[in-house]
Chain A
Amino acid sequence: MKYIDEFRNRELAQGLIKKIVERSTRPVKLMEVCGTHTVNIFRYGIKELLPETVTLLSGPGCPVCVTPNETIDKAIALSREKDVILVTFGDMMDVPGSSSSLAKEKSQGADIRVVYSVQDALKIATENPKKKTVFLAIGFETTSPTVAVSLIEAEELGLRNYFILQGHKLIPPAMKALVEDENLALDGFICPGHVSTIIGQRPYQFLATQYKLPCVISGFEPLDILQSIYMLINQIEQDRAEVKIQYKRSVKEEGNPLALQKLYRAFQVSDSNWRGLGLIPGSGLKLRNEFKNFDVEEKFPIEVGEVKENPDCICGSILKGIKTPLDCPLFRKVCRPENPIGPCMVSSEGSCAAYYKFRQ
C-alpha cells in the first residue's frame, strides 16, 4: 500500500461515475471547501465527468486567498524594518498588498526568507539573536498546531527575538457563514481532509444537525473525491444529513487530540477578517496571554497606510462560490500567474490559478 496510486484507478473511477449518474435525480450544489480539492477536481477533470445535475462550487479553503490585504500590508511594513527578518511560506511572496508585495520588497533589499516549515523560522531566530525574526503565520487547523509547537519550544528556549504575525483561521465558522448566505443555497459540503486529520468529525456536526446539510470528509485522490460526491448524493437522495468520513485512512473521528491540545495551549479563538467573507465571529486565533510576548503586533505596533483593494478583482465573490474566475474582467487578460492581481491567481490552490492552468 502506497496510499496514492491505489486511489487513482481508472476502471474504478469509471464505475463510480456510472453510479453517480444513476443515483443523481435532482440538481445539487456541492461545495468543496478546500483549495487542494479544487486543484485536484480540475487536474483530474472531475467536473466534466459528472452529470448535469451535480454542480461543484469552490469555497474559501485557501489560506493565501482569504488573507486580507491588511495582513499583507502589515507583513510588508515589518519587512521594511532594518532589524526584522520576515519569514514566510513561499505562497505569500507574490500576493499583492495595497501597494506592494513581499517579492517586490525582497527585490529591494528587505530580509525576507521563504521556508517550508515553521521550524526553519525558529532556527533563523536562534541563529540571528540580534534581529527580530517574524513568522507570517497563516494557515488553517492543519498548519496552526505546527506553529503552536514552535511557540511552545521558543518559550522553553527562552527565545525573545521570535515573533509571529497572526493570520491563522478556522474552517468550520467560515462554513457556517457560507450556509447562512442565501445567495449560495448549498446542498452539501465536501469537507477538507487534512484540516480534519486535526479537528476530526465533530466540529462539522452542527451543519448536519442545524442546517440539515450532508457533509463528507474527503481524501484528495480522484477516487476519494468521486466517492465523497457519491456519498453526498446518496444522503441527499434519501433526505438524510449526516457527517461521514470518506478519508478514513487518515481521519479519525476525534482528529489528533495532541495537536489540538498544543494548538489551544498557545492560541485561543477570536474573530477574524476574511477576504471576501468579511469579519466572521470565532473564525480566527489569537495568542493566549502566556504567549503574548510572541505577538509582534502586541510588542511593536505596526503602522500601515490605507488598505486598498483592486476594485475590478472579484476574488472575494469567487471565494464565496458566488462567481467563477470566468466572470472576472481581469481573468487571463490582465491577471495571469506571472502578473497576479488577486490572491486566487497567486496561490497554486486558488480557483483562478486552477482555472488558468487546467481549463482552456
Chain B
Amino acid sequence: MCLAAPARITKIEGERGWVEVGGVVREANLQLLPEAKVRDYVLLHAGFAIQKLDEEEAEKTLRILREIAEIGN
C-alpha cells in the first residue's frame, strides 16, 4: 500500500499540481512538497507528492551498481 510512482510535474497552481505518470495526467496535492517545481520528478503516493527524485543521486547509484557488477559505462 506504500506504492509510490515516479511522476513528472507538468503544471502547478498553488498547492495543486498535475503530474504525468505512465502517460496519464493526474492531479497531485503538493502540500507535503511545496518546493516542487514544474518538470521535477516526484514520488506520487495516494494523490500526494511525497518526495522529490534526485537525478544526481540516481546517476550516482547507477555508477556504483556498474562498479560493483564490474560493467563498464
Contacts and interface: CB of A to CB of B under 8 A. Distances in A.
Interface of A: 1-4, 6-7, 11-12, 14-16, 18-19, 34-36, 61-64, 89, 91, 116-120, 138-140, 142-143, 145-146, 149, 192, 194-195, 197-198, 223, 227, 230, 246, 248-252, 256, 258-259, 262, 347, 349
A259 B4 CA distance: 15
Contacts of A118: 46-47
B61 to A, nearest CB: 6
Q: Which of B43, B55, B60, B69 has the most CB of A within 10 A?
A: B69
A167 B64 CA distance: 39
B24 interface: no
B51 to A, nearest CB: 4
B2 A258 contact: no
Contact of A3 (B33, B41, B46, B48): B41
A4 B21 CA distance: 12
Contacts of A14: 69
Q: What's the interface size class on B, roughly?
A: 20 to 34
Chain B interface, >50% SS class: mixed
Contacts of B50: 142, 145-146, 194, 197-198, 256, 259
A250 B43 contact: yes
Contact of A11 (B33, B46, B71): B71
29 contacts: A3-B41, A3-B58, A6-B58, A11-B71, A12-B71, A14-B69, A62-B1, A91-B1, A117-B46, A118-B47, A138-B1, A139-B46, A142-B4, A145-B50, A149-B29, A149-B32, A195-B2, A197-B43, A227-B61, A227-B68, A230-B68, A248-B58, A248-B61, A249-B57, A252-B51, A256-B50, A262-B31, A262-B32, A347-B1
A1 B58 contact: yes
Contacts of A36: 2-3
Contacts of B55: 1, 249
Nearest to A197: B51
A258 B34 contact: yes
Contacts of B25: none
Contacts of A6: 58, 62
